[in-house]
Chains A and B, each alone.
Chain A
């Protein structure tokens, strides 16, 4: 018989329960509020008292209300139909809820149990299989969705029988496996997995080998993120964090995108709901929504489910990774998740760490980032989960616990900056403070040598140095005045402005400029760095400024026109003429 209990205390969504039997940490329970079952999770046990965080509003709850423990942790259902779905943090399907308002205790099925899928078997009777081995395949949109041996299976199994090709729903037993001890187990197209446990079932996790293209010059060229890599974007509000993240979601070179809207604005999610179905994936030409799953726990939804939402999203990514697919997980924002942890820790009256956050915050964050990565599956194929999280530092001050903890865990750092945003220099990523550790990986350097051109990373570093030098010159000019510095200070400054305006800045709302393929980035960077390597001769700094402003203007117009179009080359010719008039 399962454990039951009675409510003995309520502070907001923290409820204490007197239990009559064994309970497990993170075990789920239902609290009965006049017939409505509120889902909650055990977060602390002391004696016969369990503290549970309730994933719903506790309004109207009383002491003495009964509690039933479910004997399992928070799980997600994994199977065909996850893509193009929109879930809340507990994987309830938001689209199938009828009311305009979210009703407490309303739980909807994550997957469609009636839909038929075209199943094609891949394993044969007698095959030896283990957890995550591929048994067959269905087409989910255009993606090959592998039906796998459930991740929870331990040891080796033999395929006893497998369904022939045909149309089945997800509950159909598609294979029977015989365990080592001779017991037969049935496998359907759907399996369950507890979200807080990392999915294993792969052979190894090597270092990342290649970069994930985003079409954003600032990322791909200056600070590329690797496939299976991790990165984070901290920034004060109003710096374009969301626009940037949506651009990555739209353009990121990945098979599957999972977006976790964690404690952020509902209208931003609505933007995804509205725009994605109409957008085309630039890499496959298919509808963008077909490869996207949205996990949505907006800021007004129950706080406790925020934490669940990022884990749910990660588990779905790991599931698709085990099929040999490239997944991209975007979480906006991990600070809200950390704040949810803080609220709970506070209500439990734990001794607080810095800024009242729980002391194990850093460990929780780094454990989560560690679930990303590229893996080699048991069958030799590879899959990847690339993770980009945003951080919303209080007051825009990066010296706060969430940013600092994340900096230790993530390999790429994209520092959004208020002053750049104020000047409308978008994306407002500071090119000097930001970094990608992947540019130091020999694997990535040689990959880029091949993919872009020999010596590409050297050119990128040269460009970065140009920007840095320009910044230093600007500081000098500001101190000494325009006339107080030698001409080459002005020239170096304007060279860096040229890189900034014509390369780093990018108009996310312009049809052409929003997506800049690597090939085009290569062309533009070479063109700009060629200009930077020239010597110029000016009579005064005003002439210098006007000259570079003209150059910048033409380069920007190039960005707005189709790559290698007539107009594109017309601007290029203008630039060539300008260069012939000065420059050596």
Chain B
């Protein structure tokens, strides 16, 4: 009986690990999808006629005589305007009870944009949070993660940022979200009345971890549809990338790869870069901005996941509980937006970067004073003024519950400088002092 390759059913597995199965099969292409005992799987290795598949849903209960069918194509997503307002799982299937999406079927994880065809990001994304807008301004086409400990309210901040940002579409890629967090996002989006401009791809902790590997590609395929085909400004939220990387390490471990640092696969940098580099400002006006979350283990950023992420993304945002003000603040020292100078003073007031630097410098002096205090030394008058400044600076500007316009942030900063310091103590340019100093 003549049968086409994708119809052929194999029924003998040579090997099974927790994440992969291997079998003898012919005519199989790299990266193509298959089902193993009804579960989705993807080809990750071919050696002669021995094919290794990564089974997204895990291999629990898969017998050696499981049926394997190859699709002849890599993972795809059907794209159209119908995606808007919908919730999907890692395979792009609806989980909100709605109908299947009709549209053009596209391969996910497609090619990169020619760097020469990109445009320089130049549009500010205001969030109302001064710790971001004033000190670490976001720009459309940027990719930036929150580095946060698991106990910090990063999902809340991310939802705030997304809903306040002036964008056409918000696409959520949730990896290993707890069911509570998934419902939180759903609730926030519905409450904001913004559901029609949101698309969500969600893998919860109840679902198998290897499935997560599909989420970023699905999310970004949808993002590319809106940004490239529809010329829209798209904001992509990816949470939590640490759980994505953990899934990578599970698969590479099952494939007997030699691990590099922190038992992560040696290709971690490239794997993460492939996702984050989808952030782009297109010549046609569309853009993809990525805000991600990388959870840390007790603030350790030297771990391979945050470390590699930091080298890929255009900055990072840290949240920290500030004991002086009792608020969660955006840490001004370690946070950084690499693209901020593209908009600061250009799309915002001329004094922006000077004010930002002076504020952070004085806040640093306050930290030094605090160290002195802790070590039992006497504080000078300047030290005391720094400490008072720091408290008010944290409360009125760094705290994540601030929601004001950038002009107001700058004016507030000048007000604080004038209140606590002499002009020459701030290190500001004389021309700026002449113009904006508030005695």
Contact = CB atoms under 8 A, between A and B. Distances in A.
Tell whether A and B belong to one assembly.
yes
B429 interface: yes
Contact of A10 (B30, B277, B279): B30
B118 A267 contact: yes
Contacts of A565: none
Contacts of A11: 44-47
A9 B283 CA distance: 39
A100 B113 contact: yes
Contact of A395 (B45, B120, B302): B302
Contacts of A478: 375
Contacts of A560: 429
A455 interface: no
Interface stretch (A203-211, A298-306, A457-465, A519-527): A298-306
B27 A299 contact: no
A58 B46 CA distance: 11
Contact of A550 (B266, B307, B424): B424
A8 B46 CA distance: 8
B4 interface: no
Interface stretch (A59-67, A223-231, A248-256, A434-442): A59-67
Interface string B309-334: 01110111000000000000000011
Interface stretch (B173-181, B254-262, B395-403): B254-262
Contacts of B115: 86, 94, 266, 269-270, 273, 296, 298, 301
A349 B45 CA distance: 14
A339 B27 CA distance: 32
B30 A58 contact: yes
Contacts of B339: 267
B258 A265 contact: no
A549 interface: yes
Contact of B111 (A102, A271, A336, A549): A102
Given A9-B46, A60-B32, A63-B46, A237 B310 contact: yes
Given A270-B115, A424-B357, A100 B29 contact: no
Contact of A63 (B28, B116, B308): B28
A101 B277 contact: no
B266 A103 contact: no
A343 B376 CA distance: 51
Interface in B103-128: 110-121
B315 A62 contact: no
Interface string A507-524: 001000000000000000
B364 A355 contact: no
Interface string B229-255: 000000000000000000000000000
A300 B310 contact: no
B427 A238 contact: no
Interface stretch (B156-164, B208-216, B378-386, B411-419): B378-386
Contacts of A424: 357, 360-361, 364
A336 B266 CA distance: 11
B274 interface: yes
Contacts of A12: 44, 267
B380 A299 contact: no
Contact of A238 (B27, B120, B336): B336
A9 B45 CA distance: 8
B394 interface: no
Interface string A62-85: 111000000000000000000000
B57 interface: no
Contacts of A303: 267, 270
Contacts of A556: 427
A216 B361 CA distance: 22
A60 B32 CA distance: 7
Q: Is the interface of B mostly helix, strand, loop or mixed?
A: loop
B102 interface: no
B317 to A, nearest CB: 11
Given A394-B261, A482-B378, A553 B266 contact: no
A490 B267 CA distance: 50
Contacts of A422: 333-334, 364
Contacts of B377: 481-483
A101 B118 CA distance: 10
B303 interface: yes
Contact of B258 (A237, A273, A356, A550): A356
B296 to A, nearest CB: 12
A340 to B, nearest CB: 8
Contacts of A270: 115, 118-120, 281
A355 B258 CA distance: 10
B29 A238 contact: no
Contacts of A94: 114-116
Interface string B269-302: 1100110011111110000000000000000011
Contacts of B364: 422-424
Contacts of B360: 424
A284 interface: no
Contacts of A340: 270
A405 interface: no
A64 B49 CA distance: 10
Interface of B: 26-32, 44-49, 74, 110-121, 141-142, 228, 257-261, 266-267, 269-270, 273-274, 277-283, 301-304, 307-308, 310-312, 314-316, 333-334, 336, 338-339, 341, 353, 357, 360-361, 364, 372, 375-378, 380-382, 424-425, 427, 429-430
Q: Which 7 A-B pairs have the closest CB atoms?
A: A395-B302, A299-B273, A300-B277, A94-B116, A237-B310, A356-B260, A59-B31
26 contacts: A11-B44, A11-B47, A62-B46, A97-B114, A97-B116, A100-B283, A101-B112, A101-B113, A102-B111, A237-B307, A238-B315, A265-B312, A266-B113, A266-B280, A267-B120, A298-B115, A298-B277, A301-B112, A303-B270, A346-B267, A352-B258, A396-B302, A481-B376, A482-B380, A545-B380, A545-B382
Given A273-B118, A346-B260, A482-B377, 18 more contacts: A9-B46, A9-B47, A9-B48, A62-B27, A63-B26, A100-B282, A101-B110, A238-B315, A266-B277, A267-B121, A267-B142, A267-B339, A356-B259, A394-B302, A422-B333, A481-B372, A482-B372, A553-B427
